A = this chain, B = another copy of it.
């Protein structure tokens, strides 16, 4: 069906790595507030990345994630010590990998496709996460927005795949569980695949819905064979 697809670029956070796997440590440090802290931390991280991009005040994703954690703790009335902050940020380097990631990537690799990661994460964060997930052998290229100093969904971010993979945009399938990220990539000209990780989750209303909707990475190989 999509015989034109010659490579896949994957979003990292929420797509390959489970950002809510920090919830257990949040709960250990702040009993009764773990879930609220993990959810607000993630929401603020995304909000700050977009606001800073629009303000032309880029700061790398590690720093943005620290700022988001500090604000989330304040907003919930939690007193965050330096040690607690460091432990929580450390957890961001060893996020859990979703179970469909390794088998899904292997099945795409077996079809001869090139595989890349295209992420807001800073290079250090991505090196740590890929290593912890044990998928370095399956990923040909790790692209961080840090080389252009703006975050998703700036079109410049998605166009990185063209210059770095040396392929036309529409030959690259972009895969994300974040619906807004899918709309951003679609608006920039990529062929988009939304991993709808929760069945009840509606698409965002941003004008560029996914070309394909799947529930696991393992479904992608069947779609393009």
- A183 to B187: give the CA distance in the assembly, Å: 28
From A6-14, A161-169, A204-212, the one touching the partner chain is: A204-212
**Are A155 and B56 in contact (CB-based, < 8 A)?**
yes
Contact call B50/A207, Cβ cutoff below 8 A: no
Contact residues of A: prevailing secondary structure: helix
Would you call A75 and B153 a contact (CB within 8 A)?
Answer: no
Query: Which residues in window 43-94 of A have CB below 8 A to B?
Result: 47-48, 50-57, 59, 67-68, 70-71, 74-75, 77
A23 at the interface (CB under 8 A from B): no
**CA distance in complex: A188, B56 (Å):** 10
**Could you tell me if B205 and A55 are in contact, using CB atoms closer than 8 angstroms?**
no
What CA separation (Å) do A75 and B200 show in the bound complex?
8
State the copy count for this chain.
2
**One of B59, B74, B188, B205 near A67 (C-beta < 8 A):** B205
Enumerate A181-213 residues with CB–CB distance to B below 8 Å.
183-184, 187-188, 200-202, 204-207
A17 at the interface (CB under 8 A from B): no
A155/B206 contact (C-beta < 8 A), A47-B47, A50-B50, A77-B200 known = no
Q: Number of A residues contacting the other chain (C-beta, 8 Å)?
A: 34
Complex formed: what's the CA distance from A153 to B55 in Å? 6
Contact, CB under 8 Å: A48 / B200:
no
* Bound: A180/B201 CA distance, A: 27
Residues of B within 8 A of A35 (CB): none
- Once the chains bind, are B68 and A205 in contact (CB under 8 Å)? yes
Q: How far is the CB of A71 from chain B (nearest CB, A)?
A: 5
A190, B224: Cα distance in complex, Å: 52
Chain B residue at smallest Cβ distance from A202? B74
| Contact partners of A50 in chain B: CB under 8 A | 47, 50-51, 54
Q: Does chain B have a CB within 8 A of A21?
A: no
A51 with B202, Cβ < 8 A, contacts A56-B155, A57-B207, A207-B57 known: no
Of B53, B55, B153, the contact of A183 (CB 8 Å cutoff): B55
Q: How far is the CA of A201 from the CA of B76 in the complex (A)?
A: 10
